[in-house]
Structure 1
Amino acid sequence: MIKTAASTTAVLAGLILTPAPATAAAVPTLGQPVAYVRGGDVYVSSGPAEKKVTTGGGYARPRWSPDGRQLAVLKGGRLWTMKADGTAPRRLTTRPAAGPSWSPDGKWLAFASLSCTGGPGVYRISTTAAKPVPEVLFPRDCRGEALPEEPSPATGSGSLNDRLRTDDAVAWSPDGKQIAFRGGECDAVYDACLSIGTIATGAERVVAAYGGGSLQNRGFAVLPAWRGDGARLAFTAYQEGETPAENEPLHVVEYDPRTGRKRTIGAAMDREPTYLDAGRALVTGQSKGGSWVVLIDLRTGARTPFHPGSQPSARGR
């Protein structure tokens, strides 16, 4: 199902009790590997067969390197890299981190952690240096400041909405010039917001906002993901409006950075998008009584279950 922004509220309000099921079909062959999490471990698959590449649990937010040879992953709330088959694990920093994103040249990883302001900030760290040191990217005013003390990692407890609303996963744009992240300067105006920051200047612009600044709603926008050509940014959103008719359960929004237009893709309760290409995306959705990685045709809205799991990452995204 694909709806325009104008019809999103009514449609989602009706779907909250009956999320659209994925169509019954054979496991699709995607043409590129996808990493995802099940039971706290990372799996990789491009079709019916899948390979478990970690053991012991505690893993989250896998992200492919641009060349497909490595995965960045969170382990116990810290940032690690490893080869695509799970070997040669390497911890990059002891600082607690949120979902990482590779620079297009593979030389850096961006991640979120506590900033000098006391809120979430965006850092980058070298993937090639022998002893890499995190550098502040956002907020701009924290550049050059001493890094704050390392807080304890988040526990990840609470409801799904509670866990998602504070997920600080970031997304590096395909042209290498921008990073999308939760919060930013807009935190001074709104209760929750999502921003795109320009690395060269530190300037930020608001993509989505909730509460405060005359907005009579509550909600969040998190887990941004760029399309490979940089022409679209998708993210997970949730809203409580002034009236029940304005409520929007968990859903995925696709945003055009050039025009500011938004549309809802997928079904209610979808989350954690990643693009395969301009016409296909993967999300974590509801299927067969649990969380599944689901393939969505962005043109027709057709949904096909891929594998049980969550937090999908397509190669290069």
Structure 2
Amino acid sequence: MLSVYSAAEVRRGAFVMGAFGRVVGLAMAGVAAGTLVQPAVARANEVAATAGASAAGTMSLPSLVAYVRGGDIYVSKGGSEKRLTSGGDQARPRWAPDGKQIAYLKGGLLWVMRADGSGQRRLTTRPAAGPSWSPDGKWIAFSSLSCSGGPGVYRIAVKAKAQPEVLFPRDCRGEDLPAEPAPVTSRAGSLSERLAADDAVAWSPDGKQVAFRGGSCESVYDACLSVGTVATGGEQTVAAYGGGSLQNRGFAVVPSWRQDGKKLAWTAYQEGETQAQNEPVHLVEYDTTTRAKRTVGGAGDREMAYVDKARAVATGQNAGGSWVMVVGLSDGTRKPFRSGSQPSVQPVR
């Protein structure tokens, strides 16, 4: 069980976000804004994929990795790759626990498809951000506008035609769902500005908790990352920025659990009181027992997903564009895998 940070603990080491994050997030609710590819970037990535393909070498992983390039979803274990979608406008693929389906965003809405790209179907008309499967595969959690006017977390049944149900904020449970805003599928601004409003969520491996950006902690801090308990609706703060005596600004977004639930990773950014306290986009790994944090990967790495206890995949820079990198969690090694971003690892059964 994660513990709530005291103000003193947060001052000593919590990563947290500035006031701009919440404002941008409300305007961009329901979208994985962090890495949606702009047309020019998409073309550059396609060039990088061709010109730098040899950089991936013959690396092989134990299961497929889904990732996005040029607005479409691909899968690969290393060497060859398969394109699952066409037409662009796709984002945030997430594997089902049994490895047989993928949830993803299309046009800012939640869709699912089989692992081979067939059977594509839309689940919601409500704009969505960063989906995550429940461990039993029956539900998908996603972020969208809540009754409070900020981002909230919903779940929707995968098999049946159903309406989304509110998980967080707890006070929105049982309330009428707010009107559906128009989905937004592209973003301007720097990488850190786009990432700041990314509302991707992550369901814990035991099914009891969901990690998400924002939450009730935003009544104290300018921006924060929360872990909410599904059964009760209670929330705990694991990262925070600005407010509450914190003289900084930044964000903690795109959470990801290790398969055993003992580690939680996220993408972070910080502007401190002095230039020496600034921390560009980077990856943080958090021990859910000791609450210790450490930086993993390299500068600019983001959107981490665990392969196993020793390795992860993350988006980083390589060959002049965004690449999925294989990151050694103990030795800090970084090896290029495929051109693309937003990786998700197929569970090994």
How many equivalent pairs are there?
Answer: 297
Q: Displacement of 1:291 after TM fit? A: 0.6
Q: Which amino acid aligns with 1:126?
A: A
Q: Displacement of 1:288 after TM fit? A: 1.2
Q: Equivalent of 2:83, from 24, 47, 52?
A: 52
| Runs of 4+ with deviation above 2 angstroms | 24-27
Counterpart position of 2:252: 221
Counterpart position of 1:291: 322
Q: Equivalent of 1:211, from 205, 227, 242?
A: 242
Q: Displacement of 1:27 after TM fit? A: 3.7
Q: Equivalent of 1:118, from 149, 162, 177?
A: 149
What stretches of structure 2 of length at least 5 have no aligned partner?
Answer: 1-11, 16-54
Query: Do residues 71 (structure 1) and 102 (structure 2) align?
Result: yes
Hey, what's the Cα distance between the residues in 1 that align with 2:267 and 2:203? 16
Q: Displacement of 1:25 after TM fit? A: 6.4
Hey, what's the Cα distance between the residues in 2 that align with 1:284 and 1:79? 22
Counterpart position of 1:147: 177
Counterpart position of 2:193: 162
TM-score (norm 2): 0.83
Query: Do residues 138 (structure 1) and 142 (structure 2) align?
Result: no
SS at the partner of 1:157?
A: coil
Q: 1:246 to 1:146 in 2, by over 3 A?
A: same
Hey, what's the Cα distance between the residues in 2 that align with 1:124 and 1:25? 37
Q: Which amino acid aligns with 1:297?
A: G
Residues 27 and 305, structure 1, Cα contact 8 Å, conserved in 2: no
Residues 56 and 337, structure 2, Cα contact 8 Å, conserved in 1: no
Compute the RMSD of aligned alpha carbons.
1.7
Q: Which amino acid aligns with 2:182?
A: S
SS at the partner of 1:253?
A: strand
SS at the partner of 2:315?
A: strand
Hey, what's the Cα distance between the residues in 2 that align with 1:299 and 1:106? 31
Query: Do residues 42 (structure 1) and 73 (structure 2) align?
Result: yes
Hey, what's the Cα distance between the residues in 1 that align with 2:103 and 2:178? 23
Q: 1:94 to 1:297 in 2, by over 3 A?
A: same
Equivalences for residues 77-116 of structure 1 within 5 A: 77-116=108-147
Counterpart position of 1:313: 344
| Greater per-residue helix proportion | 2
Q: Which amino acid aligns with 1:253?
A: V
Could you give the per-residue CA deviations for residues 38-85 of structure 1, whole angstroms, max 9, x where no partner exists? 000000001111000101100000000111111000000000001111
Deviates more, 1:41-50 or 1:151-160: 151-160
Residues 27 and 304, structure 1, Cα contact 8 Å, conserved in 2: no
Q: Displacement of 1:153 after TM fit? A: 1.5
Hey, what's the Cα distance between the residues in 2 that align with 1:245 and 1:81? 44
Residues 325 and 335, structure 2, Cα contact 8 Å, conserved in 1: yes
Residues 156 and 163, structure 1, Cα contact 8 Å, conserved in 2: no
Counterpart position of 2:158: 127
Could you give the per-residue CA deviations for residues 245-303 of structure 1, whole angstroms, max 9, x where no partner exists? 00000000000111111000001100000000111000000111111000011111111
